[in-house]
Amino acid sequence: MKSLPTKKQWQTLRLALADWYKSAKRDLPWRRTTDPYAITVSELMLQQTQVVTVMPYYGRWLKLFPTWRSLANAEESAVIKAWEGLGYYRRARNLQALAKAVVNEGGSLPRDGEKLLALPGIGPYTAAAVGSIAFGLTLAVVDGNVMRVLTRLLALPDDISRPQTRVKLQALADQFLDQGDPATHNQAVMELGAMICLPRKPMCLICPLRNRCIGRDRAEEFPVKTRTKTVQRMETVAILRRGKRFYCEQVPIGKPWHGLWRFPDFDPARMEKDEVVAQIKYGITKYSVTMQAVTARWKPRAGPTGGYFTAEEMETLAFASPHRKLARWL
């Protein structure tokens, strides 16, 4: 790595970033609240999901579950339903587990980084984001946006999938942090990553940090990340029909999507295949999946363990996203 910024240079960068953020920041609903609960909801939703996708969910969620207590007391199925379509459902369960812990421990989040980290569902990113934005704690966030900004700014060749690199980036983010206003600073770095320092075709010409950005002429080379190869996979699901109703089942605990509803896997031991009627592609972790839907019938003596639902009834259940697509298509 070239030399790290000096204290004075960090300060120049911080000021340039703060100036930019003041005029360029988006007016987002979670930036208008000081409620730690609402801020936590937004930060959990924003992990791995883009702002435009999160927006409608955030508003709906707070109407359904306006407080820690209401979320703690909600039915798990209602919680999963409200998360339907956002993906990574573990976040929804984590959020409810967190709500239960908060309610058990007096009803509000602790204003302390270590204590935040000790709560279920809160990792270093969430502790720093919620701690700084809701309580002004001097904790620097490191997420994908921040890693991209920092590795480009310093032309850092380290592989960000390695734990040592994360440690290094956390130390750099700590140095960069504005101790006087960590809430604004953290949001400004993430905003820069979301608006200017884009993964592809970053807008270096209008970047407030361009004068001191070492990676700016080859920004797309950063961050360096060893790729996990995507693996192609085929699967076949069965459409079993009874009049206006279709057979669906709830995914049991221990399987991906557990708790969500889906069409069953086509099982030749129990079903007879008619014809392929649809094909849906989706990605999950390292897999690129082609899901084929076939109309089918139960073999004699094979029986359903799930249930039959009309289109309207299916709308009220929380479906795994590719299965929701299929349900709507039907």
Q: In this structure, what token pair is assigned to residue 168?
A: 């290094």
Q: Which of 43, 84, 114, 220 is catalytic?
A: 43
Minimal distance, residue 191 CB to ligand ADE, in Å: 5
Cβ proximity to ligand ADE: between 152 and 185 the closer is 185
Minimal distance, residue 39 CB to ligand ADE, in Å: 8
Those residues with Cβ within 8 angstroms of residue 32's Cβ, 6 or more apart along the chain or in another chain: none
Q: Using the rule CB under 6 A, which residue among 187, 209, 213, 317 binds ligand ADE?
A: 187
Stretch that binds ligand ADE, among 5-13, 185-193, 222-230, 312-320 (CB under 6 A): 185-193
Radius of gyration of the chain (CA): 23
Do the beta carbons of residue 215 and residue 152 sit within 8 Å?
Answer: yes
- What is the H or E stretch that residue 290 is in? strand 287-298
**Residue type for 28, please?**
L
Residues in the chain, overall count: 330
Minimal distance, residue 129 CB to ligand ADE, in Å: 6
Do the beta carbons of residue 264 and residue 249 sit within 8 Å?
Answer: yes
Determine if 178 is a binding residue for ligand ADE (CB under 6 A). Answer: no
Question: Which residue, 240, 230, 172, 167, is CA-closest to 14?
Answer: 172
Minimal distance, residue 31 CB to ligand ADE, in Å: 7
Determine if 84 is a binding residue for ligand ADE (CB under 6 A). Answer: no
Render the burial of 15-42: b for 16+ CB within 10 Å, e for the rest: ebbbebbeeeeeeeebeeeeebbbbbbb
Cβ proximity to ligand ADE: between 150 and 317 the closer is 150
Determine if 190 is a binding residue for ligand ADE (CB under 6 A). Answer: yes
| 43 noted as active-site residue | yes
Question: If you search the block for the tokens 């790290």, which residue do you land on?
Answer: 4
Cβ proximity to ligand ADE: between 40 and 187 the closer is 187
Those residues with Cβ within 8 angstroms of residue 50's Cβ, 6 or more apart along the chain or in another chain: none
Interface positions, 98-137, toward ligand ADE (CB under 6 A) = 129
Q: In this structure, what token pair is assigned to residue 112?
A: 């302390």
Neighbours of 223 (CB within 10 A): 21
Determine if 191 is a binding residue for ligand ADE (CB under 6 A). Answer: yes
Backbone angles phi, psi at 136, to 5 degrees: 70, 20
Determine if 194 is a binding residue for ligand ADE (CB under 6 A). Answer: yes
Stretch that binds ligand ADE, among 113-121, 149-157, 187-195, 198-206 (CB under 6 A): 187-195
Minimal distance, residue 83 CB to ligand ADE, in Å: 17
Give the 3-state secondary structure of residue 317: coil
Cβ proximity to ligand ADE: between 99 and 190 the closer is 190
Query: d(Cα 206, Cα 128) in Å, to the nearest integer?
Result: 28
Minimal distance, residue 135 CB to ligand ADE, in Å: 14
Site size toward ligand ADE (CB under 6 A) is: 7
Binding mask 23-62 for ligand ADE (x = CB under 6 A): --------------------x--x----------------
Q: In this structure, what token pair is assigned to residue 185?
A: 């600073």
Cβ proximity to ligand ADE: between 52 and 269 the closer is 52
The catalytic residue positions are 43
Q: Which residues bind ligand ADE (CB under 6 A)?
A: 43, 46, 129, 187, 190-191, 194
